[in-house]
Structure 1
Amino acid sequence: MSAPFSTLAEFEKVFADAKSADPEVVLAARARNAQLTKPPQALGRLEDLAIWYAGWRGTDRPSIHAPQVVIFAGNHGVAAQGVSAFPPEVTAQMVINFEHGGAAINQLSKAFGAKMAVHALSLDTPTADFTTAPAMSEAEVVEALTVGWNAVDPATDLLVTGEMGIGNTTSASAILAAIFGGQGEDWTGRGTGVDDKALAAKISVVNAGLALHSSALGAPVEVLRCLGGREIAAMAGAIARARIEGIPVILDGFICCSAAAVLHALNANALDHAVAGHVSAEGAHGAVLKKIGKEPLLDLGLRLGEGSGAALAIGVLIGAVACHSGMSTFAEAGVSKG
């Protein structure tokens, strides 16, 4: 399926005809859950997860066989402002590490049987410094959205998107402030672990970007263009494609959720196919999840990015679905329901 958009205006319309979870399958999955050999709600949120997943997969006894993890990498012009504890060349170095299987996300993908791919987006051409100009042109945003869209395998049954990009927590903070309101200090954290002086500078950079691009604040795709990054746009494209295809998504941390927030601002139902894998140690991530209406599955103090928290949560969802689809009913097991 080729991307059904060539402009940002066309991308805004991709959710207009997006299918929703099958309500009849949801009812059937609930009915099955009520007959499984356990007390009601004994498996807690696992039960709700399995029913949610069933509705998107179109069967009341689903299984997960083909999870996909897609990592997008991009460089940010705003990194020249000293907003990260690491230099921009680390982005390309980490891409090589991903490709050689040496990163945390490689291990987590392998552990849960996920096919993993890495897409580097014009690393030699960073986005513009958003304190002086829009980060990207419309053509650049559309290109990144398309990369994300095309990266999704239609045969996958569960998607995780991750990222790598020095400076991208600054971009994510600016996006979230622009979409949800507030100033840099409300949405900006330490990212890669910057000290107090660098954090103050980072907040100042975010506020400068908000001031320069104030005219874009009411338009989510313009916020993405003016304050975002290629890897953030690519994640948005991938999450959107999954929505159209009916593929469930596990959202990762702060940066991934900034991409998701753009979609949520476009359409309140845009993230119905997504759950939050975890809440990260990046200060404002919990606030983002509340804004987009997602309760995290895990809270382990992670702040790595790369899709790592979401990849770890694949195991939770696999467990939920395995119990739902594999357990016997009271009748099948010959157990009295009481």
Structure 2
Amino acid sequence: MSMNPQNPAARAQPDDAVPASVRGAVDLGAAATVGGHAGTNSAAPQAGPDGSTPGDAGASYRRDVGDIQQFQEVAELSAQVPVVLVLTASYSPESTQFADQVSAEIDRFDGRLLLAVADIERLPEMAQALQVQSVPTVVAMIGGRPVPIAQSTVPVEQLAPVFTELLTLAEQNGVNGRVEPTTSAEPEPLPPLHQEAVDKLEAGDLDGAQAAYEQAIRENPGDNQAKLALAQVQLLKRVTTMDANAVRKAAADDPADVTAQLDVADLDVSGGHVEDAFRRLLDVVRRTAGEERETVRQRLVELFGVVGAEDPRVVSARSQLMRALF
């Protein structure tokens, strides 16, 4: 697989590839302004009460190109987002399967990339114009200009880094928009107790939502979604009763006040300042021992669940916690 930018960008994971920790959980960052403290929510994408999240399964950013006019349409869209064009042929099942793999990876970028798939048997003029030697062939378009990527199938794990590099190249050329999905699946119905909890949340009944999730866990101790959603509801209950200014002043005045440090960490996570919260509690872990240290450790683990186990900030903080403890 090759790209032609002269200064390949540093490879990073897509911003929106990280899934929400809990389907149907409340958006903590948008929940409330607590005690006069309103935070900008920059945390990992949280699911809304209807279960939808950025990058939900079922949302597709693929267009199948059947004629030259449709190709011209996606070429025009390359002025808005990079377009990845995969050329296939019906005589090559491998090429069509590869296009499906590329499609799944493109969808994870949540509209920052668009996939176009064209069958060269139906559009031989396109194959000729792009000098296609074999299928599948992958060509990107940025502002209408082609960027060769590959002339064969490639391992799936190589796709995300290449597409991230493509986005960097596009941004350097002023192409950094988003497109709407071509299709979007309806979310699957929530389990009854989960739906009851969501309904309670929408009505502002946090105690009722907590009770519903707790009942779901009693009925199914392996219900991890309910456990993580419960952690989010419990966090929301804690922060909605706080005077944020007073809490932050108490923590600043007495760094040894573990309760105040825990409260500020809760406020930071609810406001989207995840790294600040983790850094604060990791510092407390390092300078405490015994029961106090265990209390802080448990809160950190709980907040890991609120943010999402796959979030890179959680992965980093979990590693730091292990080093601090051992």
Scaled by the length of structure 2, the TM-score of the pair is 0.25
Say which one has the larger Rg. Answer: 2
Scaled by the length of structure 1, the TM-score of the pair is 0.25
